[in-house]
Amino acid sequence: MTNWFRLRRRIRTRLVAGIAAALGFALMLSGCGQIQVTTVNGSPEGPTLAIGVAADEPAIGAWHDGTYEGFDISVAKYVAAKLGYANKQIVFKQVRPANRASMLNNGQVDMVVASWAITDGSKAEADFAGPYLRTGVGLLIRTDDRADFAQAGDGIGDITDRMVCIVKGDDTADLFRANHPKAQFQERDSYAQCVTAVQVGSADAIASDMAVLSGLRQANGPQYMTVLQDEGSVEYGIAVSQGTPQLAQKISEALKDMIADGSWESARAELKRQTRLTVTREVDPQAIVSDAE
């Protein structure tokens, strides 16, 4: 009888394990084509910190081989550690310019580290800690079209008859649009869609910040694509919900630590290695908050 009960226990244990594995596989399949969510180094343990990051910005924030990588990811991991979260407590969730404010404000993410420019418009949607990166505004074009866009001094000339692709919700693209009000613009949901539009000829260029564009250029054939810099600059900030000044302050202090101990410089060097672009940081990070409660 004792052996029978032992056998039943082994069978039941294997059955439960099999069901669990099947459910896990089904959940994995159900997520295909959806927003990518991942934890750092395994399943979450204890309280988690949900961080919104980009998935289609090579060298800044990109989904590659089942994980996120890039400059913003390095910044996000450092800040999370300074806030007291171990790697297994970090949950990355994909955001896009069009939905990052809503995902932040409805509680799907606790902060956003996704090349979000600090502008008058973005400060109306979120509070920030930063800046932690400064770069220019520009265009990504086909190399063969350089003469049609560039003017003396490598600036951008008259592009009235050119179709420029921008990503919905990208504050940097709005700055470019203000510089070139007569240009033609088409909106897409992602940078990947804009790259495809340029490659197939339905758009002539992509407008965004120089860091994002330089990453796209390197990832999609630097011999075929060129980045031109326009007037103006942008500064990245880490976004938090309005009315959370203490969190913004803690994040700004973490960013200062990252600068002081050399981790930020290491991340910048890696960004330059991947994109050949030098970014700067002109002021110390601080909490940039509204009066919202």
CATH of the domain at 69: 3.40.190.10
Considering the domain architecture, whether residues 128 and 243 belong to the same structural domain is answered as yes
154: left (phi over 0), alpha (psi -120 to 50) or beta: left
Considering the domain architecture, whether residues 118 and 58 belong to the same structural domain is answered as yes
Considering the domain architecture, whether residues 193 and 243 belong to the same structural domain is answered as no
Considering the domain architecture, whether residues 219 and 244 belong to the same structural domain is answered as no
**pLDDT tens, position by position, 60-114:** 999 999 999 999 999 999 999 999 999 999 999 999 999 999 999 999 999 999 9
Query: Among all chains, which residue has been given the structure tokens 């086909």?
Result: 142
Average pLDDT of the chain is 86
**pLDDT tens, position by position, 224-236:** 999 999 999 999 9
In a domain, 109, yes or no: yes
Distance CA 243, CA 247 (A): 9
Considering the domain architecture, whether residues 60 and 181 belong to the same structural domain is answered as no
In a domain, 3, yes or no: no
Considering the domain architecture, whether residues 105 and 128 belong to the same structural domain is answered as yes
| pLDDT confidence of residue 149 | 85
Q: Helices 245-260 & 71-82, crossing angle to 10 degrees?
A: 110
Mean pLDDT of 152-160: 72
**pLDDT tens, position by position, 166-201:** 999 999 999 999 989 889 999 999 999 999 999 999
Considering the domain architecture, whether residues 128 and 252 belong to the same structural domain is answered as yes
Considering the domain architecture, whether residues 142 and 223 belong to the same structural domain is answered as yes
> How many domains is the chain built from?
2
Considering the domain architecture, whether residues 148 and 200 belong to the same structural domain is answered as yes
| pLDDT confidence of residue 42 | 62
| pLDDT confidence of residue 80 | 98
In a domain, 4, yes or no: no
Considering the domain architecture, whether residues 72 and 49 belong to the same structural domain is answered as yes
In a domain, 242, yes or no: yes
Considering the domain architecture, whether residues 225 and 258 belong to the same structural domain is answered as no
| pLDDT confidence of residue 290 | 85
In a domain, 12, yes or no: no
| pLDDT confidence of residue 41 | 62
In a domain, 107, yes or no: yes
Q: Among 123, 95, 83, 60, which Cα is nearest to 279's?
A: 60
Of 216, 231, 246, which marks where a domain is finished? Answer: 231
Is residue 260 scored above 60 in pLDDT? yes
In a domain, 72, yes or no: yes
Considering the domain architecture, whether residues 226 and 238 belong to the same structural domain is answered as no
Question: What domain range is 202 assigned to?
Answer: 135-231
Query: Among all chains, which residue has been given the structure tokens 């910040």?
Result: 209
